[in-house]
């Protein structure tokens, strides 16, 4: 496959999970890649792997919550391998807890990464994407369609970027550029092992049963297909598609199911009780 041959991809949150799998998939389809995340050692290893396969790849440490970091990372990628054709705003994490327990600071921290981090990525890459008639990709979530207990902060952030993707898609159409919102359900990832302060607990159990978690390489293939086709949105995973369908057409049924099944939602890793 050569859907992305000769194109330069910039992706945040590229050190693990969907981000790392998507880097490999896009490189397999011919892209050169700029990898950005906080864990630069993982990035360097992945970049070396891609260079060994004949692709251009550059790893840059980047914290999307810090003003100037994304701009600096994009400048480094542009200088090393060229202007950005596809920008993927993938970095994110999930704050868990009831509205009663969460503080305003918890909500601010969630939005700083999941919303303002996306905006920083867009602002840093927008000129390149417009010039190349390229693509902006925002990694949202099924939680941007369906709000469940204990994840109000996360769901709010994903509803916000869903609105952003819709508005920005209209704005970019006249430039020949496009926006694709990806709304995954449960995918193999570290996200459920990250606490409300963004700290990874590698030994924490994944609270989602294995049979419901889509492998990252399969998710990456579906995401790459959606981006290649310039789809405005793609919901990833069967259970995600089902949840979005019922929420859209019979929201009362979703509410009844959540309450009848007494779904408690996600708990914060590393928190007792």
Q: Are 40 and 14 in contact (CB under 8 A)?
A: no
Beta strand spans in 93-232 (E): 135-139, 178-184
Q: Are 270 and 195 in contact (CB under 8 A)?
A: yes
Query: CA–CA separation, 28 vs 25, rounded Å?
Result: 5
Q: Are 126 and 47 in contact (CB under 8 A)?
A: no
β-bridge mates for residue 151, sequence order: 97
DSSP state of 110: H
Question: Quick one: how far is CA 4 from the chain centroid?
Answer: 19
Is-catalytic flag, 154? Answer: yes
**Measuring CA to CA, how many Å separate 58 from each of 17, 76, 86, 206, 272?**
19, 8, 15, 31, 40
Query: CA–CA separation, 87 vs 77, rounded Å?
Result: 11
Query: CA–CA separation, 91 vs 50, rounded Å?
Result: 20
Q: Is the CA virtual torsion 22, 159, 147, 145 positive or negative?
A: negative
DSSP state of 103: -
Indicate which residue of 4, 93, 111, 154 is catalytic. 154
Q: Are 91 and 134 in contact (CB under 8 A)?
A: no
Query: CA–CA separation, 272 vs 12, rounded Å?
Result: 31
Q: Are 185 and 142 in contact (CB under 8 A)?
A: yes
Catalytic annotation, residues: 154
């Amino acid at each position: 496959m050569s859907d992305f041959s000769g194109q330069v991809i910039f992706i945040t949150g590229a050190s693990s999970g969907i981000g790392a799998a998507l880097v490999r998939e896009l490189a397999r389809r011919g892209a050169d890649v700029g990898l950005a995340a906080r864990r630069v050692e993982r990035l360097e290893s992945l970049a070396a792997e891609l260079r060994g396969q004949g692709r251009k790849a550059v790893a840059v440490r980047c914290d999307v919550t810090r003003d100037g970091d994304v701009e600096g990372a994009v400048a480094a990628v542009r200088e090393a391998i060229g202007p950005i054709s596809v920008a993927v705003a993938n970095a994110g994490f999930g704050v868990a807890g009831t509205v009663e327990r969460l503080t305003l600071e918890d909500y601010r921290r969630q939005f700083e990464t999941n919303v303002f981090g996306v905006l920083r990525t867009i602002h840093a890459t927008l000129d390149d994407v417009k010039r190349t008639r390229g693509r902006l990709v925002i990694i949202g979530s099924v939680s941007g369609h369906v709000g469940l207990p204990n994840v109000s902060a996360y769901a709010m952030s994903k509803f916000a970027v869903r609105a952003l993707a819709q508005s920005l898609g209209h704005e970019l159409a006249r430039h020949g550029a496009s926006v694709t919102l990806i709304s995954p359900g449960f995918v193999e990832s570290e996200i459920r092992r990250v606490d409300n302060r963004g700290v990874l607990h590698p030994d924490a159990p994944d609270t989602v049963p294995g049979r419901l978690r889509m492998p990252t390489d399969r998710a990456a293939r579906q995401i790459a297909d959606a981006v290649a086709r310039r789809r405005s949105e793609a919901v990833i995973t069967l259970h995600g598609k089902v949840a979005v369908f019922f929420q859209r057409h019979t929201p009362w049924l979703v509410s009844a199911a959540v309450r009848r099944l007494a779904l408690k939602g996600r708990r914060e890793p590393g928190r007792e009780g």
